[in-house]
A and B are shown apart, each in its own frame.
Chain A
Amino acid sequence: MSVEITSPRFKDNAKRALADGPLQAALSKVGPGFIGKRTAAADKLPEFDALRDSARDIKDHTLAHLDLYLERFEEKVKAAGGHVHFAVDAADARDIVTKICRDLGARTVTKGKSMISEEIGLNDHLSAAGIEPVETDLGEYLIQIRGEAPSHIIAPAIHLNKEQVEEDFRRVHTHLAPERNLSEPTALLAEARGELRQKFLVADVGITGANFLVAETGTSIIVTNEGNGDLTQTLPKAHIVLASLEKLVPTLEDVSQLLRVLARSATGQEMSVYTTFSTGPRRPGDPDGPGEYHVVILDNGRSGMLGGPLKEMLRCIRCGACMNHCPVYHAVGGHAYGWVYPGPMGSVLTPALIGIEKGANLPNASTFCGRCEEVCPVRIPLPKLMRHWREKEFERHLTPAPQRYGLAVWGFFARRGWLYRPATGLAMTLLSVLGRKKGRFAALPLAGGWTGHRDFPAPEGGTFQAQWRAQRAARNTRHANRDAKKDARP
């Protein structure tokens, strides 16, 4: 799996994605698949929005006391017989993991899905050290055998169709009968299950991510539907947990609040199938479980975000709802973003982790429609944070000249609301009349950088502001952050 960063080529990536038929077919299912399920789950729980407030507050409280909760977490892991390792950056984390594996003489490592592993490029590093990493989440396994990066943070192979999977399985599982029937997803799943079962049973070390770390008890938590993470951590000699430092929460009660919004936001489930709380290694008398338990806590630039304008991004619980609801993600998919974190959360996080020079294009990969913020379970003001990067980028003159010009014109109107509203209102009416035939524009003045790669959707009448006002009036019972919304204009 390559960790080559192609974010600076976002526009080319996007162009290629738009011309990729199978990818477009796969992407067309993202919205319908996820959006309805999340809405149904949210509607079934009257307290859902209040729980989102609670989740936000817990994360804010934890981040403000992060030093203290980290201390307690470390203390509790040690008390349970485990080890905590702090890693300043990706290289540091890779070295720590490799050393643990080497000390155990490990040859095979099974892996539960971990975005941190992707972030630090762990698999290539392990392979180079002569240790075979085997991804066990079905989606991760599919992309591993293709040598690809994940295209979604919870559904890493969402860009593939079953014909591609069948082709890959025939290419890789050459010891199986060539005439076997793999036309149905059930057959593909059964084959993967059989192949990976063997890997689980022989692996020396299991590496998982962590959805949460609990300071109160020194516990790491993984949430999966497949059960692969549990097999990964239960069967080998050692369990290594990879976590970034913002995964911390104070107590078991706090994590229960967060779990109530995580699965509902991600897949629309009431709860994911397996939520596993791990504390230390196998205890005396235990018939199974790992002999060693290590937690690697990665910083990699996050501590620097703590006190700054992007600190709210550290509340993210990686549910994927923002990308599931993002029209840009729906159009270009995850790989176009060029690194491990796609969609709105990636557009904010990627420049923070790899530098604005490389990530400058990403905060522009947004229509600023505000749906991401609307669904985020921890209420991260994603459009505002993307705009922060746009401003930074503008200040640094990383923006190509035509775009600077366009923004300056927009700024002129935006600062003069009385002019801006009628002017955009007029333009929108015009555009909607012009575009009605096709529903899409192939070219738009001042927006060449955008429409060069995709059609600009024709307005269905009314500006965002006008539509927003109308919607607000219809839903005046729901409290929403109107100011953040207003801010969210490009």
Chain B
Amino acid sequence: MTSSRDTVFASVRRALGVTSQEAPRRQEADGRLAGHPRGLVPARAQLPAAARLALFKDMVVAAAASIDHLPSADDVPGAVASYLRGRNLPPTILRGGDARLAALPWHREPNLDVWIGPSDGRQLAGLSHAFAGVAESGTLVMLSGPDNPSTLNLLPDHHLVVLDAADVAGDYESVWTRIRERFGPGVMPRTVNWITGPSRSADIEQTLLLGAHGPRSLHVLLVGGA
């Protein structure tokens, strides 16, 4: 019996008039997969460092997120506490086990309750560490892994994200390069989330409303490079 797989492949090959064994075709496809050529990268994605950071901040705000630019990582606990206070939220936050978050001076905010683990949907605020930012669209790049639960990006009403200014790239392509360096060619973490602003829907009469299923608010804590 022919499997569905065989039927589909046979049909594709027939339509293309190929056998899949043609060497030049294979070389072309393999070459593209191995070389992953960059296509057209917009000029705005290729700015020098200071302008890149400025663009990133503008684009984050344009996507309806908010941003704090902090001089150093040591300022993060204070910024988290003041964010929660400013929105009348309880002084409680859930974070992943990420070493960079663990190393922050949480003791400076004795009133802040910091929990560690994935979200089960009952927490109002979650804190993650981004792998990268992309200036051209104000996008955060989050990687899943033992220390970075994906649920933190999605379930809390308020998502706070720490991002090192040094990790703000101009374009998406530079982030792929870094991911290949970290994980090896052709290998991806289980989930890469690009996040550009808080969750929204325009499904009722095309009225744009924030907070559809994911966080109602997205707040970026950009660290260093000021």
The residues of A with any CB-CB pair to B shorter than 8 Å are 26, 29, 33, 45-47, 50-51, 54, 58, 61, 64-72, 76, 80, 85-88, 92, 136-139, 142, 155-158, 160-162, 165, 185-186, 188-189, 193, 196-197, 200-201, 215-219, 225-228, 230-231, 234-235, 245, 250-254, 256-257, 259-260, 267, 269-283, 285-289, 297, 299, 303-308
Query: Are B204 and A271 within 8 A (Cβ)?
Result: no
Contact with A along B128-161 (1 / 0, CB 8 A): 0000000011110000111001110111000000
**How many residues on the B side are at the interface (Cβ–Cβ under 8 A)?**
83
**In the complex where A51-B40, A304-B15 touch, is A226 in contact with B199 (Cβ < 8 A)?**
yes
**In the complex where A288-B118, A289-B190 touch, is A231 in contact with B15 (Cβ < 8 A)?**
no
Query: Are B12 and A276 within 8 A (Cβ)?
Result: no
Query: Are B192 and A276 within 8 A (Cβ)?
Result: yes
A448, B32: Cα distance in complex, Å: 53
Query: Are A273 and B16 within 8 A (Cβ)?
Result: no
Would you call B181 an interface residue if the criterion is a C-beta within 8 Å of the partner chain's C-beta atoms? no
Would you call B209 an interface residue if the criterion is a C-beta within 8 Å of the partner chain's C-beta atoms? yes
Query: Are A185 and B191 within 8 A (Cβ)?
Result: no
Closest Cβ–Cβ distance, residue B139 to chain A (whole Å): 6
Query: Are A230 and B203 within 8 A (Cβ)?
Result: no
Closest Cβ–Cβ distance, residue A168 to chain B (whole Å): 11
Closest chain B residue, CB of each to CB of A163: B205
Would you call B197 an interface residue if the criterion is a C-beta within 8 Å of the partner chain's C-beta atoms? yes
Select B8's contact among A65, A86, A136, A201, beta carbons within 8 Å.
A86
Q: Which A residues lie within 8 Å of B63 (CB)?
A: 269-271, 273
**In the complex where A162-B204, A188-B204 touch, is A88 in contact with B4 (Cβ < 8 A)?**
yes
Closest chain B residue, CB of each to CB of A66: B12
Secondary structure call for the B interface = loop
Q: Which A residues lie within 8 Å of B137 (CB)?
A: 270-271
Other than the given A256-B172, A303-B14, 11 more pairs (CB < 8 A) read A65-B28, A65-B29, A68-B25, A68-B29, A88-B4, A157-B203, A189-B204, A253-B37, A270-B196, A271-B137, A275-B139
Query: Are B29 and A283 within 8 A (Cβ)?
Result: no
Q: Which B residues lie within 8 Å of A162 (CB)?
A: 204-205
Secondary structure call for the A interface = mixed
Select A231's contact among B43, B136, B154, B198, beta carbons within 8 Å.
B154
Select B201's contact among A69, A201, A225, beta carbons within 8 Å.
A225
Q: Which B residues lie within 8 Å of A160 (CB)?
A: 204-205
Q: Which A residues lie within 8 Å of B32 (CB)?
A: 61, 250-251
Q: Which B residues lie within 8 Å of A307 (CB)?
A: 14-17
A163, B195: Cα distance in complex, Å: 32
Would you call B107 an interface residue if the criterion is a C-beta within 8 Å of the partner chain's C-beta atoms? no
Query: Are A274 and B11 within 8 A (Cβ)?
Result: no
Q: 24 pairs across A/B with beta carbons < 8 Å?
A: A65-B29, A66-B16, A69-B29, A80-B190, A86-B3, A86-B8, A86-B9, A88-B8, A92-B4, A138-B203, A142-B203, A185-B209, A217-B188, A218-B188, A219-B188, A225-B202, A254-B39, A270-B196, A271-B138, A276-B193, A277-B188, A286-B146, A303-B12, A308-B15
Closest Cβ–Cβ distance, residue B215 to chain A (whole Å): 8
Select B213's contact among A72, A188, A228, A259, beta carbons within 8 Å.
A228
Sort A-B residue pairs by CB-CB distance and give the 6 closest, nearest first: A227-B214, A226-B212, A306-B15, A139-B203, A285-B146, A303-B11
A68, B32: Cα distance in complex, Å: 12
Contact with A along B60-71 (1 / 0, CB 8 A): 001100000000
Select A185's contact among B204, B213, B215, beta carbons within 8 Å.
B204
A283, B16: Cα distance in complex, Å: 37
Select A253's contact among B7, B20, B173, B189, beta carbons within 8 Å.
B173
